[in-house]
Amino acid sequence: MSLVTDAKNGKITEEMKTVAAFEGLEPEFIRRGIAAGRVVIPTSPYRDVQLCGLGEGLTTKVNASIGSSSDISSVDMEIEKAQAAEAAGADTLMELGTGGDFLEIRKRVIDSVSLSVGSVPLYQAFIEAANKHGSIVDMTADDLFKATADQAKLGTNFMAIHTGINNIVLDRLKKHGRYGGLCSRGGAFMTAWMLHNEMENPLYSEFDYLCEILKEHDVVLSTGNGMRAGAIHDATDRAQIQELIINSECAQLAHDKYDLQVIVEGPGHVPLDEVEMNVKLMKAMSNHKPFYMLGPLVTDISPGRDHIVTAIGASVAAAAGCDFLCYVTPAEHLALPNKADVIEGVKTSKIAAHIGDMVRLGKRDEDLAMARARGSLNWEEMYKHALDPEYARSIRDSRAPEDEDACTMCGNFCALKIVNENYDLLK
């Protein structure tokens, strides 16, 4: 019995109660959200996970993606990154390894964390085809479906699946062209396969079979965004929108006919003035399914600081209604992220999630508590309300003031102290 079936039947499950308690909401709110397809809670019959609700009315969540590459592949490094992401506050993890013994690495990574873990089974199917036959274009539909089931049995509980790339999308892509090509590995693999074999995407043409597999293993379908732009100048183009239409149709079918929990994924590189429109369009098209945004990166010209570029876009996206943010690390577009990059990426995206929640959920209590702590120069209280207390403390301690009330920014001329000593301003 899936959570959607229970919710549609009016049953409130333990998972719904747990998420409701975390969010400070009524369990009935969560049940209604799941029944309507507006909320999901990834679970797995193969392992216990830390439950995390995603969707409308819930706090914005952050995903950290990790995984080996063909150049750098170490199981210890990936486990270290996964655990660092969890410790830094990631709400979910995606294991996207494509290098070395990636099956073994994925298994060990999943076993090393308590978070919900996502994957992209298509990567495995294409890489195994390349290893076996010499080329990714020799993959078969069965390879795709087998990889999906195999990964579910490892305890993967949500999967990005590129259902929305069909022949119509491919035509739009070819006709319109792109300045920055395709940045999605899934999109690149699948379009190359479709063009070479002159065949429809099996994840679209055999979507019902795919849904049956996902239902059997209780996996949340996250409709992949293979057409997301990798350049600002390609944002919101016809191929991206066409894929969104197909993904929205597939998402509805999966929820209505198969009682699957579904997330819809979105772009990508998007200029700031198009971010809110992308969120609203995605929500409207998909009947308000939980929206998972990969970025968004709002400029192309800051490699090395793309985590900051993303936090700017993600703040606007979350404020506009995006439910789930995929972090970006400082290594984006440059190298495989290391542990430090992962931590920085998570912590930066958590700021964006909070800024979004301040707007869409009115969550400003911590900001008010911080204001009061600052006004009264209560440093311990300030750390208590900081998103990253240890980091804040380390900066102050590294340049400790003579007068411990103030800080070394203004020293004896601390504005807050002058006011506090001369009159009573604080509310």
Beta bridge partners of 196: none
Both tokens of residue 291? 């929206």
Quick check: 416 binds ligand SF4 (CB under 6 A)? yes
- For ligand SF4, the closer of residues 46 and 379 by Cβ is 379
Quick check: 213 binds ligand SF4 (CB under 6 A)? no
Helix (H) or strand (E) holding 292: strand 291-294
The interface with ligand SF4 within residues 347-406 (CB under 6 A) comprises 406
Quick check: 410 binds ligand SF4 (CB under 6 A)? yes
- For ligand SF4, the closer of residues 415 and 426 by Cβ is 415
- For ligand SF4, the closer of residues 72 and 416 by Cβ is 416
Quick check: 414 binds ligand SF4 (CB under 6 A)? yes
Quick check: 426 binds ligand SF4 (CB under 6 A)? no
- For ligand SF4, the closer of residues 71 and 402 by Cβ is 402
Distance CA 178, CA 191 (A): 14
Both tokens of residue 230? 């990798």
Q: Is the preceding omega at residue 268 within 30 degrees of 0, hence cis?
A: yes
Choice from 87, 277, 409, 426 touching ligand SF4 (CB under 6 A): 409
Q: State the minimum distance, in angstroms, from the CB of residue 381 to ligand SF4.
A: 13
Q: State the minimum distance, in angstroms, from the CB of residue 348 to ligand SF4.
A: 23
**Region of 76-84, 172-180, 273-281, 414-422 interacting with ligand SF4 (CB under 6 A):** 414-422
Q: In the block, which residue shows the tokens 């049956």?
A: 212
CB 121 within 8 A of CB 143: no
- For ligand SF4, the closer of residues 87 and 415 by Cβ is 415
Quick check: 415 binds ligand SF4 (CB under 6 A)? yes
Both tokens of residue 191? 């379009």
**Region of 5-13, 201-209, 337-345, 408-416 interacting with ligand SF4 (CB under 6 A):** 408-416
Helix (H) or strand (E) holding 325: strand 324-326
- For ligand SF4, the closer of residues 199 and 415 by Cβ is 415
Choice from 407, 423, 424, 425 touching ligand SF4 (CB under 6 A): 407
3-state class percentages of the chain: helix first, strand second, coil last, to nearest 5 = 55, 10, 35
Both tokens of residue 410? 């203004």
Q: State the minimum distance, in angstroms, from the CB of residue 358 to ligand SF4.
A: 22
SS3 370: helix
Q: Name the phi and psi angles at 28, rounded to 5.
A: -65, -35
CB 9 within 8 A of CB 31: no
Helices marked H in 51-184: 75-88, 102-112, 121-133, 141-153, 167-176
Quick check: 308 binds ligand SF4 (CB under 6 A)? no
- For ligand SF4, the closer of residues 203 and 414 by Cβ is 414
Q: State the minimum distance, in angstroms, from the CB of residue 421 to ligand SF4.
A: 12
Encode 233-257: b = buried (16+ Cβ within 10 Å), e = exposed.
Answer: ebbbbebbbbbbebbbbbbbbbbee
- For ligand SF4, the closer of residues 301 and 395 by Cβ is 395
Quick check: 199 binds ligand SF4 (CB under 6 A)? no
What is the DSSP secondary structure assignment for residue 47, as one 8-state letter?
Answer: S
Residue 395's contacts (CB-CB under 8 Å, 6 or more residues apart) are none
**Region of 63-71, 278-286, 319-327, 413-421 interacting with ligand SF4 (CB under 6 A):** 413-421
Q: State the minimum distance, in angstroms, from the CB of residue 410 to ligand SF4.
A: 3
Binding interface with ligand SF4 (CB under 6 A): 406-407, 409-410, 414-416
